Every structure is written in C-alpha cells, then in structure tokens.
Structure 1
C-alpha cells in the first residue's frame, strides 16, 4: 500500500494553494475557479486552521442567503482541519475520509503544509494498485511468473 508521500509525488500539480482566514469567500471562490480545484486549506499566521470547500460555500453561504463578498472565509470554513502526515497509507486516509465525510485532507509535516490529497487522488491510487495486483495474479495463473 502506497503512502501519502508517494501519492503527492505522482500528482501532476504539486503546488498547494491556500487562502487566509481573513480573506473573503468571494476571493476564495475566485482562487478555486482559477485553479480548477474544489477546496483550499485555510491558514492563519502560516498555520492550517481549516479547509474551505465548494460544499461549505453552498451550505453555509448560498443556502443561508449570505453574500460571498462580505463573508470571511473563517465564518464558513470547516474547522479544525482534519489533516494527515505523509507517512500515512492510502487506506488509512480513505478510512478517515469515509468516517468523517471529507473530500480533502491537508498533508502536514512538523506543522507545515506539504500537500493536499483529495478523495479522487486516493481512489485513483487504489484502483491503480488493484489493477496491478490483478495483472500479477493473471500472470501467475498463466504461469508467466
């Protein structure tokens, strides 16, 4: 089973975009749209304190009639941030995501943000591992190994 560090290394886009807790929701949405992403880690004084996602915006802003231009990120973000470290396995992360109903996990090392993994990243890796196992088993059955 691969680790979070290995998943991060295989991602095409390695840069993690963040938003400050005191920024407006509108600016966070602009950044998500610009980078074609669904969530941003929220920082305060360089530390990850939460995550803001499109789901947060829909449920805590739109459905409550709040204006994205006048609402601060800290008012609608999911907090505290549920994070993982780079040594955790893909399976451990999938369990956490499933149990906590999350879609994104900030990856922290010594309190510093080093990556972000999504449920899509983790499922993609799981499928690749299963396909490789099936290929190896088929080779074994055919006597090719």
Structure 2
C-alpha cells in the first residue's frame, strides 16, 4: 500500500489557506472542513502547512491577538512531504520520527493530496488484518488436510 493508494481510497481534496490570511481564517477553515491541517499555498506553490497544533501554540503564547497575525508567521516550514509511491511503513516511520500528523503527497512537483496519521494507521491495520486472514486460511487448510490423512 502506498500514499497514492491511500489517496485513491479517500478522494483527496486540497484544503488550503493563503500565507497572508489571518490565523483566525485558518482556524475557521480547519473547523469548517473538519481537518487537522491546511496547506499554505502561494498560487500552486506549497510554502507551509498550518495545523491545529500551530493555532493552539500561537494562542497559548500570544493570546487572542495571535489570531490576527498572518498564517505565514505561525505555519510550519519547510514542509515535510512524501512521494505518491512511498509505502505505508515508510510514511509511518517518517511521521513518527518527525512527530507530524500530516504529509502532503507530491507527484511530478505538484501537491496531489495529504495523508494523515489516521489514514496511515488505518491502512496498516487493514494490511495486518489481511495478512492475518491469509494465515488463518492457510492454517485451516493445513489442519483440515492433517485430519484427512
């Protein structure tokens, strides 16, 4: 399973905000779209990512005044990205090592979607359940054939 496979299953939509938008606008979009992060785009160029964590950190440090500041002051940059062909185990390892929950997926230099830690974990759980089913089936066949012998 790859990042591309995950995106196919979830029908990706790119949720974004401009770098000069006020942080309150990012917070509203996060809530309205029920997502944990927004891409920060200048045109089609990915310049940052702003997450719920970034909003909380800004408000905790500066109070409500932080919400009037531009997103560019609070976004995470440089942005850690992945390729569409990267495997689930690789994605999980990178997200864990970097302590990040969202990875923009890049294909031919363009952002084509975002995978979240939830997407990656669900994908890995599905893989493990599939492997377990194969093992169960193999053991059942072996057990049944040993009874017949």
Shared fold (TM-score, shorter chain, > 0.5): yes
Asked whether the 8 Å contact 2:59–2:67 carries over to 1, the reply is: no
Of 91, 107, 113, which residue of structure 2 is paired with 1:93?
A: 91
Of 79, 90, 93, which residue of structure 1 is paired with 2:77?
A: 79
After TM superposition, which residue ranges in structure 1, 4 or more long, deviate above 6 angstroms?
none
Asked whether the 8 Å contact 1:47–1:111 carries over to 2, the reply is: no
Aligned equivalent of 1:58 = 56
TM normalised by structure 1 equals: 0.92
**Aligned pair 1:6/2:8, yes or no?**
no
Aligned equivalent of 1:107 = 105
- Give the drift of 1:141: 0.2
User: Unpaired segments of 5 or more residues in structure 2?
Assistant: 143-149
Question: 1:70-121, CA deviations, whole angstroms, 9 ceiling, x for partnerless residues?
Answer: 2110000010110011011011111110110000001111221100000000
Asked whether the 8 Å contact 2:102–2:116 carries over to 1, the reply is: yes
- Give the drift of 1:14: 1.8
Of 133, 136, 145, which residue of structure 2 is paired with 1:135?
A: 133
Aligned equivalent of 1:18 = 16
Of 24, 34, 44, which residue of structure 1 is paired with 2:42?
A: 44
TM normalised by structure 2 equals: 0.90
User: Unpaired segments of 5 or more residues in structure 1?
Assistant: none
Asked whether the 8 Å contact 1:61–1:76 carries over to 2, the reply is: no
Aligned equivalent of 2:115 = 117
Asked whether the 8 Å contact 1:7–1:121 carries over to 2, the reply is: yes
Of 9, 33, 36, which residue of structure 2 is paired with 1:35?
A: 33
Asked whether the 8 Å contact 1:15–1:115 carries over to 2, the reply is: yes
User: Which stretch shifts more, 66-75 or 25-34?
Assistant: 66-75
